[in-house]
Amino acid sequence: MSVTGAELLRRVKSEIVEVDPAEVKELREEGVVIVDVRETEELSAGKIPGAKHVPRAYLESRFEATVPDRGAAVILYCASGVRSAYAARTLVNELGYQNVRSMTGGITLWKDRGYEVEIPRTLSAEQLDRYSRHLLVPEIGLEGQQKLLDAKVLLLGAGGLGSPAALYLAAAGVGTLGIVDNDAVDRSNLQRQVIHNSERIGVPKVDSAEQTITALNPDVNVVKYPVRIDASNILEIISDYDVIVDGLDNFPTRYLLNDASVRLKKPVVSASILGFDGQLSVFVPYEGPCYRCLFREPPPAELAPSCGANGVLGVLPGTMGLLQATEVVKLICGIGEPAIGRLLLYDALAATLTEVKVRRDPACPICSRAPEEISDQEMGVFPDYEAFCAAAG
């Protein structure tokens, strides 16, 4: 004998605990975990303020990442209380959660009672399609994608490192990409600087990069700085950005960037390349070491030749630039463990990745001081790092 849908629902509700919206309203203020199990497109009608979101279809694959504590007090809701009832039974009977309840009447009854509703930002149909694979990843999801769309990332250089980083950050939906580069596309760049092409030889790199990024993702706003970054402009340029991607190729400017980023408390994702070797680290001021903690003095010139003098494997900037892009996404979304206090050494020939721990230097000439002591923010007074590095060489 077949069971009707109504009978099955009665059985499910007999196995779970239901709670009235009035009680949920009180419990919400006490910090209980509230989870909306409707589909993403339903959220535009409003949701309970502060509620987490896990569509019922992804309950088994995403819920643990959202609510890792199986003993936590959890209240589920949907549109009318049906899907949340089924979801509550699944969590208790199949996933081992111990204190899960379903809200009767769902968001419909909640709104009928006149309780507060939050209208979340939603993505357009085109964005839902474009970023659909991000939305499936529990650590990113809708909230993380919106953080990416709101983010402002500055790329120092549209060359070997900046090219792959810019492409993948644009593809990921980073809303604003600033690009600083005063150079033009040269034929010798095309072996590794994949954001440019043969037809753009002689075109300013910022213009070439903008064309490629806009064609890839029209959501991205490209801000161009066709200048050489120096002490007179660095504070003004980096001040509006959330994360800085360091694709610089010289020590003086990197030391200057370190001073300015510590002064303004801006995180920097830094990488360098030469031959078959790459290095990467993330510098978050006052949370981990700064660049000067790692490199107190610049190495002699013979130990740090440029790619122009010593050459570089064409695919190596791609590897390191994509690692940089990954670290940027982690910082923006607040996920994972960024490479703060760690120096990653990549050997392309040996296919090895070595990690070296780096600690803050209590005697560091930069981050051992308070931010306001590093420079005069209005005057932008920094040491003469060209002379500093020349003396070291």
Judge whether residue 5 has pLDDT over 90. no
CB atoms within 10 A of CB 342: 16
Q: How confident is the model at residue 305 (pLDDT cuts 50, 70, 90)?
A: low
pLDDT of 300 reads 60
Res. 383 pLDDT band, cuts 50 70 90:
confident
User: Do residue 276 and residue 214 come from a single domain?
Assistant: yes
Does residue 118 share a domain with residue 75?
A: yes
229 and 153 assigned to the same domain: yes
Residues 143, 72 share a domain? no
| Section 161-189 average pLDDT | 97
Mean pLDDT of 332-349: 96
Residues 205, 171: Cα–Cα separation, whole Å: 19
User: What is the reported pLDDT for 311?
Assistant: 83
**Model pLDDT, residue 378:** 44
Asked if residue 291 and residue 171 are part of one domain, the reply reads: yes
Is 138 found in the same domain as 86?
no
Distance CA 43, CA 143 (A): 12
Span 328-345, average pLDDT: 97
Neighbouring residues of 332: CB distance < 8 A, sequence distance ≥ 6: 144, 147, 148, 151, 153, 174, 242, 243
Q: Is residue 141 part of a domain?
A: yes
**Averaged pLDDT, 180-209:** 97
Interval 265-282: pLDDT, tens: 999 999 999 999 999 999
Instruction: Specify the DSSP class assigned to residue 368.
Output: T
CATH number for 338: 3.40.50.720
Whether residues 164 and 250 share a domain: the answer is yes
Residue 309 forms part of a structural domain:
yes
Which residue, 89, 122, 155, sits at the end of a domain? 122
In a domain, 127, yes or no: no
Same domain assignment for residues 272 and 377: yes
Of the given ranges (45-49, 222-226, 228-232, 309-313), which has the lowest mean pLDDT? 309-313
Higher pLDDT, 255 or 392: 255
Burial class of residue 184 (count of CB atoms within 10 Å of its CB; 0-12, 13-18, 19+): middle
pLDDT digits (tens, 9 = 90+) for 199-215: 999 999 999 999 999 99
- Clarify whether residues 115 and 142 are in a common domain: no
Taking CB atoms within 8 Å and a gap of at least 24, the contacts of 350-358 are 358/281, 358/288, 358/289, 358/293, 358/294
Q: In this structure, are 150 and 179 located in the same domain? A: yes
Q: How many domains does the chain have?
A: 2
Same domain, yes or no: 296 and 381: yes
State the pLDDT at residue 31.
Answer: 81
What's the pTM? 0.82
**Does residue 172 lie within any of the structural domains?**
yes
Which range has the worst mean pLDDT, 131-135, 208-212, 267-271, 387-391? 387-391
Report residue 377's pLDDT band, with 50, 70 and 90 as the boundaries.
Answer: very low
Q: What is the pLDDT of residues 58-75, one digit of tens each?
A: 899 889 988 999 999 999
**Per-residue pLDDT, 120:** 81
Domain of residue 83: give its range: 5-122
Q: How many other β-carbons are positioned within 10 Å of the β-carbon of residue 393?
A: 12
For residue 129, is it within any domain? no
Average pLDDT, the chain: 91
- What is the CATH classification number for the domain harbouring 98? 3.40.250.10
